[in-house]
Structure 1
Amino acid sequence: MIQTSKKGDWFELTIPEEWQHYTLETLFRDWWKAPRKLVHLYRMDKLVLLNSKIPDWTVPLAKGDKLRIKFFAEEPYDVIPEYREIGVLYEDEHLIVFNKPAGMDTHPNQAGQTGTLENVAAFHLQANGELTRPRHIHRLDRDTTGAVLFAKHAFMAAILDKMLEERSINRTYLALTDGIIKQKKGTINQPIGRDRHHPTRRRVSETGQSASTHFKVIERLRQKELTLIACTLDTGRTHQIRVHLSYLGHPLAGDNLYGGSSLFHRQALHAVKLEFVHPFTGEKINCHAPFLDEPPIFKGIDPFTI
């Protein structure tokens, strides 16, 4: 694992042996795949030091070199910090994973909105003396529960956005569908677009964005006419799992918007697991999100076995 530390506003990293063939230019561009504009800003504003000096970005790095990057300078919040007790599944100086409850938006949809997970994230950082702005990397629907990833500074947000785009961040969802799904596993490849007849609903549409959902059956609950499945996504379209399972003829139980039964008070969908390799330390991050509902929707299921 790569040795790192936080020193005030600066992040320090010790260059490992396997990075010796990189220059700073290629490390930022090829290893971290950081956006050109952001790298240019760090370079021009002298926010990157090598062995406490302004570096030559074209010289190969050496094992043991001390790389410092000014990640943690104070910046204004664009959301209102708001206290609420929310479970934290993982946290370090660069990122944080929350366990989102039902009935909460991931982020504000208009200026001044409160009650969202991003408001809570802002308060959490402020209370810990971290005055950088939280940035959500992905989102969950208001009534979907589970793991949501935030970056604590712009550079980490850019890297995680790229990782998400390249499918290096793996997200697993648990779902209870109406009816018994007969096949053991499958993939739904159907484009998703807006429903012209409803302001929030989406639908499978030839003119929509490409979308791919993989699923496998965990258990068939024949007495309740439900199927427990695990889903993974190649894309992250709005309402993707809900739309695809409804298209399959097995909508989520409790999902009134997409034709699901009224068995539960919300759609039975939970982001149970989030996995990725930390961009700076090389550590494998594996977050399991405990269930939050009361009464429990996923009664008798251990999320740590998924």
Structure 2
Amino acid sequence: MERHGEWLHMTVPENWSGITIANVMKNKWKVPRKLRHDFRSNEKVLLNGSPPHWKTAPVRSGDILSLNFFQHEDFTLPEFEMELDVLYEDDHVLVVNKPAGMFTHPNGAADIQQTLWNGIAFYCRKQQLPVLPKYIHRLDRHTSGAVLFGKHALATAILGDMMKNRRISRAYAAKVHGLVENDNGRVEVPIAKDPAHPVKRMVDEDGQPAITNYHVVQRGQDYTLLSLKLDSGRTHQIRVHLSHLGHPLLGDELYGGQGDVLGRQSLHAAALSFPHPFTGEIITCAASSETTPFFTEEELRSF
């Protein structure tokens, strides 16, 4: 697999032999219909140097499939100058370590333009990237750690499908009030919006199903360090579930915690693992304590 200018050239693997371009795009890569239409109508896919008939021309092992991913696209997102802690990067994927206290992206307020995505826009211009990377998932403002971006439309679509089908694994470090009794546990209670609060969520039997798995890494004098993995992705899920457990996050005043005057919570997306969208190689990233005030490097080694 090699990039030359705007084009990516890849050799068709043996297990694709005999299937059509349409099959590759729809079933192998799960490309959305709108993006498939763009690729087909603008001849952004070539087979051995020529535009193929998508529905009839089969690919063969050893053929060269060329895709125009890297055509320059202008963007209007305001830039914010910041130093990014880049955990992994290639032509298709970018993973960065988000600081605590920063939004992942602008949330509609005109005065909130100092977000991670605005910082990515500055990085994009500085590094002369052809396309503005797009976030695949988000972290709460006061949660630090690894955030995944797709660096072109097809990578974003493939990674988005992986996220939807829970093929992307994330491990969170959390410090909670009190000493959690069981070394391992599972919180499985549904979550809904709190009708009495514009942002807050609550446990509600009529809410959406939510599952949080935890493991005790360390017990301190009056706190517990937990490793968390989610089987669902509800808004504020970890915060709600830990509060329901009786052990809210340090600093999380909204859900019963105390301890940070800046309103930050002791929650860090410490590890991120996913199959590469084109090679299938498992990429694993560890987010250091550089972006969080709550954890040391020694504490994060377990993640």
TM range (shorter): over 0.9
1:1-306 alignment to 2 at 5 Å? 4-57=1-54, 58-110=56-108, 112=110, 113-221=112-220, 223=221, 225-262=222-259, 266-292=264-290, 296-299=293-296, 301-306=298-303
Partners of 1:253 and 1:264 within 8 A in 2: no
Single out whichever of 16-25 and 149-158 deviates more from structure 2. 16-25
Q: Take 2:302 and 2:181, find their aligned partners in 1: how far apart are those partners?
A: 22
Q: Using the alignment, how far apart are the partners of 2:52 and 2:4 within structure 1? A: 19
Q: Would you say the 8 A contact 2:288–2:297 is kept in 1?
A: no
Cα offset, 1:189, TM superposition: 1.8
Question: Post-superposition shift, 1:5?
Answer: 1.7
The one-letter amino acid paired with 1:72 is: F
Structure 1 stretch displaced more, 79-88 or 201-210: 201-210
Shift of 1:13: 1.3
For structure 2, which runs of at least 5 residues remain unmatched after alignment?
none
8 A Cα contact 2:289 2:297, kept in partner:
no
Q: Is the 8 A contact 1:170 1:275 kept in 2?
A: yes
Please report how far the alpha carbon of residue 229 of structure 1 lies from its aligned counterpart in structure 2 after TM superposition: 0.9
- Matching residue's letter, 2:234: R
Partners of 1:304 and 1:88 in 2: CA distance: 18
Instruction: Using the TM superposition, give the Cα deviation of residue 293 of structure 1 relative to its aligned residue in structure 2, in angstroms.
Output: 5.1
For 2:68, give the aligned amino acid: K
SS in 1 for 2:175: strand
Q: Bigger shift: 167-176 or 225-234?
A: 225-234
Say if 2:87 and 2:285, in contact at 8 Å, map to a contact too. yes
Q: Partner of 2:101: helix, strand, or coil?
A: coil
Structure 1 residues 130-164: Cα deviation after superposition (integer angstroms, max 9, x where no partner) = 13122111111111110001112221111111100
Q: Deviations over 1:155-186 (max 9, x none)?
A: 11111111001111001100011111111222
TM-score by length of 1: 0.92
| SS in structure 2 at match of 1:273 | strand
Rounded to whole Å, the distance in 2 between the matches of 1:150 and 1:166 is: 17
Q: Percent identity?
A: 46
Q: Distance in 1 between matches of 2:147 and 2:100?
A: 12
CA displacement at 1:60 relative to structure 2:
2.9
Aligned-partner Cα distance in 2 for 1:76–1:191:
42
Alignment-mate amino acid for residue 18 of structure 1: N
Distance apart, 1:237 and its partner CA: 1.5
Q: How far off is 1:300 after superposition? A: 6.0
> What is the Cα deviation at residue 111 of structure 1?
6.2
Partner amino acid, structure 2, of 1:24: I
Mapped to 2, the partners of 1:180 and 1:111 lie a distance apart of: 39
Cα 1:45–1:67, aligned 2, differ >3 Å: closer, same or farther? Answer: same
C-alpha distance in 2, partners of 1:53/1:300? 52
Shift of 1:302: 4.3
Which secondary structure state, in structure 1, belongs to the residue aligned with residue 77 of structure 2?
Answer: coil
Q: Normalising by structure 2, what TM-score?
A: 0.93
Contact 2:98 2:291 in 1 (8 A): no
Residues 82, 263 of structure 1: alpha-carbon distance in 2 compared, 3 angstrom cutoff: closer
> Aligned partners of 1:43, 1:273: CA distance in 2, in Å?
37
Q: Which amino acid aligns with 1:257?
A: L
Contact kept, 8 Å, 1:273 with 1:288, in 2: the verdict is: yes
Amino acid at match of 1:96: L
Q: What residue identity is the alignment partner of 1:31?
A: K
Structure 1 residues 13, 145: CA separation in 2 closer, same or farther (over 3 Å shift)? same
C-alpha deviation, 1:234, in angstroms: 1.9
Structure 2 CA distance for aligned equivalents of residues 111 and 142 of structure 1? 14
How much does 1:99 deviate?
0.4
Cα distance change of structure 1 residues 179 and 264 upon mapping to structure 2, 3 Å threshold: farther
CA distance in 2, matches of 1:123, 1:138: 20
Q: Is the 8 A contact 1:193 1:203 kept in 2?
A: yes
SS at match of 2:187: strand
CA distance in 2, matches of 1:293, 1:7: 35
